Amino acid sequence: MAQALATTLVVASLYALLGAGYVLVYRASRVLNLAQGDLLTLGGYFLFATAATFPGAPVLALPLAAALSALTGVLVYVALMRPMAGHPVFAAVLVTVTLGILLRAAIVLVFTDRTRHPLQNLGLSNPPRPLAGGAVVSTFDLVMVGAAVAFFAALFVFLKVSPLGIRMRAAGERALLASQRGINFHGVFALSWALSAFAGGLAGMIYSSNVRLEPSLGILGLRAFAVALVGGLDSLGGVVPAALLVAAVEVASVRWGNPLLSDVSPFLCLLVMLLVRPWGLFGTKEELERV
């Protein structure tokens, strides 16, 4: 039982980081970024590259990889999402799908599709840690939980207190009004994309250090969007409870069901949510129509 709780917490941390990425982007561009999973993979490969460039210097490699992830987010906004403003939402979503395909192709082209382990070059190890109650998790499992907690705490303070964060919230509520009050919403949206890519990249760096690194990690992203929808697509606060819920269902379905069922369990959560409350647990209630 303690093991199940610990696993739930670790999986929920991964989903929360990815879910935050979805919500940040949704608030900026009203688009579901289906390339979030590939941004996660990219973060892992950035770490692999920087670790290979600066072997044995995690102090240098980790921040550099994180900065590269954030920069990717800005580039994606400027190159792909800004031109899509005014196009139908579906076209914009498809552009993110193609972004995912392009990122994956670029990764295979540069790094080949061999399975990698960034930790080897980083000079760090990943020993198991016994916890109270007999549960055992790996060190980077703990790092994942810590990173998620730190990211959400920093994001909360940033959005509540700093002027830039308040501007970001304003632009997320209503871009037109915000721009009329003099907010440079292109800058704010680029920052949203940077934060989103950073969160995904961070999750990718930790996940690939913990488990393995290969181009197909992007699947994780598809499963995590259930989290964003269950919490409410425009609600950052909803991500954490939704991540815990989806992770708990997933861990439970491994325990009492089978691995196939656990693969599909996030989508079952998503379907139930769509039928009951399409705007999510904490999202802004949208006008629903019945035909």
Q: How many angstroms separate the CA atoms of 83 and 6, rounded?
A: 43
Size of the site for another protein (CB under 8 A): 44
Q: Give the contact letters, 256-275, x = binds to another protein (CB under 8 A), - = no.
A: ----xx-xx--xx-xx--xx
Of the pair 128, 290, the CB lying nearest another protein is at 290
- Count Cβ atoms within 10 A of the Cβ of residue 128 and give its class: 0-12 exposed, 13-18 middle, 19 or more buried: exposed
Which of 3, 126, 278, 281 binds another protein (CB under 8 A)? It is: 278
> If binding is defined by CB under 8 A, does position 173 make contact with another protein?
no
> If binding is defined by CB under 8 A, does position 91 make contact with another protein?
yes
242-281: burial string, b at 16+ Cβ within 10 Å, e else: bbbbbbbbbbebbeeeeeeebeebbeebbeebeeeeebbb
> If binding is defined by CB under 8 A, does position 276 make contact with another protein?
no
Q: Give the contact letters, 51-90, x = binds to another protein (CB under 8 A), - = no.
A: -----------------------------x--xx--x-xx
Question: Which residue is it, tokens 């290979």?
Answer: 52
**Which residues in the 25-44 window bind another protein by CB under 8 A?**
32
Q: How many angstroms separate the CA atoms of 74 and 215, rounded?
A: 22
**Which residues in the 113-152 window bind another protein by CB under 8 A?**
113
CA distances from 203 to 18, 69, 89, 169 (A): 7, 11, 27, 24
Give, as one character, the DSSP assignment of residue 218.
G
| Interface positions with another protein (CB under 8 A) | 32, 80, 83-84, 87, 89-91, 93-95, 97-102, 104-106, 108-109, 112-113, 222, 225-226, 229, 233, 260-261, 263-264, 267-268, 270-271, 274-275, 278, 288-291
